[in-house]
Structure 1
């Protein structure tokens, strides 16, 4: 009989759900207040936090078949120019990639993007820019947009574009 009593008096690994529910019910005000406070903090942060956008584009050097259409359009140049290696050098994948990056980084292209993009127009309208401020606005945003070739050993190039 003493063995049965010893087993009944030993601590068990069971969870008393009724006791757990009672404990939670007693702390319901604390739980509700914490939930409301953190929800309000999250909403305030979401509405007031500054937006930061970063975009990265990965481009690859063009293959021969990608430039076939362009090459067919300049076939007459091959007949006129005795040295076809000059045309091939201009149409090489690396040369085309470098030209693309150069055009992407051109201030006039950035300016055209900033002036024609709807989101950028909205930013400019919110800032209530004058003619002097508009030029500074465009210059500041143009400095944030850039493309580069971080690693020349790889066949793919990452062009980080930061806003």
Structure 2
């Protein structure tokens, strides 16, 4: 580059600085105006504060009364209870519901926070606010060792216009999802529990019904046989087997053979031949049968014992409480707002005003120079 060209560049630069210096008031005024505009925005824009919480799978102690109910249920039935699997199922249900837009909608529609925000709004505005709350205000981040190596559980965040609202709404949301997740788990357990109790009650009732019917039929047969025995004059079983002169040898043999075989295998076990037992024996059997209680099989007492333990436990299960998650970090109270960053906005406003005014002045000077040449 020649000495002349260097000299011309120096002259041009000095000329530009001179032009800008002459317009310094306009530059300062422009910067002030843009800074003021930025300040108006910074001090009137809605603030955004974010509260965050980190949740992990529930520990055994978080299962509360539900743990003892499930443990006792398994003990009664002679099975094993896997507390780890139950905790994992609860946390999976919690995560599923927390990401459900329907569950979020259900929560916000019933919340005081939403009701306050939509006061005096049109239906369209209400729908828009609800949509933003559901899809934008709540975020969930899953552990990522690359981006956030310190994150162990799921990070749930919610932002609002005040730090108190951000913390309170997030706490309420997590609590609501927790209750819903546990209720689903409890309802599934109670479904099988109720079914088991119903089946056992039916089995017990069937035992009672069938054996009661059997006793009634047996009693009716004995009473009919007693009436026949009275009519036939058969007083005692031994006398009815006595040998008379009119009996043939074959009849005597048949009668004696019936006396030698067990009663259950004899014709006398048939209601048709019961009268042959004699009036005295039949009456004694009727009296004993009426006074004695029904003798049930061992299974009946097993079922009764199970019901005596399960039915009180069922009532206890309906009242049990548990958490579907555990806090690694509870919802925090934000101390630094996300936006607006007032200082940064003021600086940006000043710089934009400064640069824009300089460009306008230089552009105007360039246009005038071109006009003077032509």
| Structure-1-length-normalised TM-score | 0.53
Whether 1:91 aligns to 2:93 is: no
Q: Which residue of 2 aligns with 1:73?
A: 69
Cα distance in 2 between the residues matched to 1:98 and 1:137: 29
Question: Where do residues 36-115 of structure 1 align in structure 2 (5 Å cutoff)?
Answer: 44-45=40-41, 47-79=43-75, 84=80, 87-88=82-83, 90-92=85-87, 94-115=88-109
Distance 1:78 1:156, change over 3 A: same
CA contact (8 A) 2:53 2:157 kept: yes
CA contact (8 A) 2:143 2:152 kept: no
Q: Which residue of 1 aligns with 2:135?
A: 143
Structure of greater Rg: 2
Q: Which residue of 1 aligns with 2:201?
A: none
Deviation at residue 111 of structure 1 after TM alignment:
1.6
CA contact (8 A) 1:56 1:158 kept: no
Cα distance in 2 between the residues matched to 1:154 and 1:63: 20
Q: Which residue of 2 aligns with 1:160?
A: 156
Question: Where do residues 20-39 of structure 1 align in structure 2 (5 Å cutoff)?
Answer: none
Question: Where do residues 122-137 of structure 1 align in structure 2 (5 Å cutoff)?
Answer: 122-125=116-119, 128-130=121-123, 132-137=124-129
RMSD (Å), alpha carbons = 3.7
Cα distance in 2 between the residues matched to 1:89 and 1:50: 45
Distance 1:115 1:63, change over 3 A: same
SS in 2 for 1:159: strand
Distance 1:154 1:60, change over 3 A: farther
Cα distance in 2 between the residues matched to 1:62 and 1:143: 26
CA contact (8 A) 1:57 1:161 kept: yes
CA contact (8 A) 2:142 2:154 kept: yes
Structure of greater relative contact order (alpha carbons < 8 Å, 6+ residues apart): 2
SS in 1 for 2:157: strand
The count of aligned residue pairs is 124
| Structure-2-length-normalised TM-score | 0.27
Deviation at residue 57 of structure 1 after TM alignment:
0.4
CA contact (8 A) 1:61 1:155 kept: no
